[in-house]
Structure 1
Amino acid sequence: MGTDAHRAAAAELGPIAVGVITVSDSRTPDDDTNGHWLHERIPAAGAVVSGYRVVRDEPDEVRAAVDALVEDARIVVVNGGTGVSRRDTTYDTLAGMLEKTLPGFGELFRMLSWEQVGSAAMLSRATAGTYHGAVVVSVPGSPKAVALAWEKLIEPELAHLAWELGR
């Protein structure tokens, strides 16, 4: 069965539940630009937002948010905390949680980011993998990075990712 057949089979699953987590020490649900943007784009893709959290870049808060959202979501999009500064702990937290990693996601994200930000793309620790029956995708917190990840990588494979989980 090829990729197109997988996508066709996936379309029969119905709306895919997507959770959204914004990791930020300064954002709130009121001013979370990325969260608002994803709340528009997810339904436009035929999916549903099944949960939403804004948490500080603290490992316990990130872990608790992911644990809560994977209960109802097939895909969880985490944005923020993927850099190399002292406060960026999202990647480290998720790396210890993911059961199966999808290294191609981070590789493709950085390749596509190169076109936007040049060599600074190497600073991104975007990652993805499975966790408790869901796919968790982690991207930088800049609006351009979130849009790039959603439009070029996540949305085109949304149904396919969800379908692969259930095989």
Structure 2
Amino acid sequence: MYLIKTPEGQQAFKERHADLSQRLRSAFLLFDGFRSLAQVLEATAAMGVSKDDVLALVSKGWLVQKEAPAMAGGAAMVAPAQVSKSAVPSLAPANVDPASTKRRYQQAYPVAVSITGGLGLKGFRLNLAVEAAMGYEQLAEIAPRIRDAVGDKAYAPLHKVLFAAEAE
């Protein structure tokens, strides 16, 4: 289950609502629609956040389940990063095995962090987006933003690692 913050939840967060304790605030921040409930619970287990705590946030209307993107253009919620996916024509072809995408992600991630880290404060949000990328697909979705920020020459090593054909 993937949860996202509601405007009411974000307002409660900003106002430091009493029902949103410090440990729940930490968990609340992690719900971005890209991390599953299990991943958030695992990340916050040391703080004592339980599934019941999260379900209480859902019952208050501060978190809602993210809807799957519509296949035929229906009225489902689509994250901005998913919209840019169509702007990247060279995403991994259907015949690329999962091991290859995992390997590409592992090789591309440090390159992307290095490139965006070199932007300083100008690229702070972009660097956060790269660090939040949990896999090949999410990193590939951010790639056009990186190219726009640094130019084609600086972006070339990342493009090669992400999208070049495997030489094996």
TM-score (norm 1): 0.28
Larger relative contact order (CA 8 Å, sep ≥ 6): 1
* Structure possessing the higher radius of gyration over alpha carbons: 2
Q: TM-score, length-normalised on structure 2?
A: 0.28
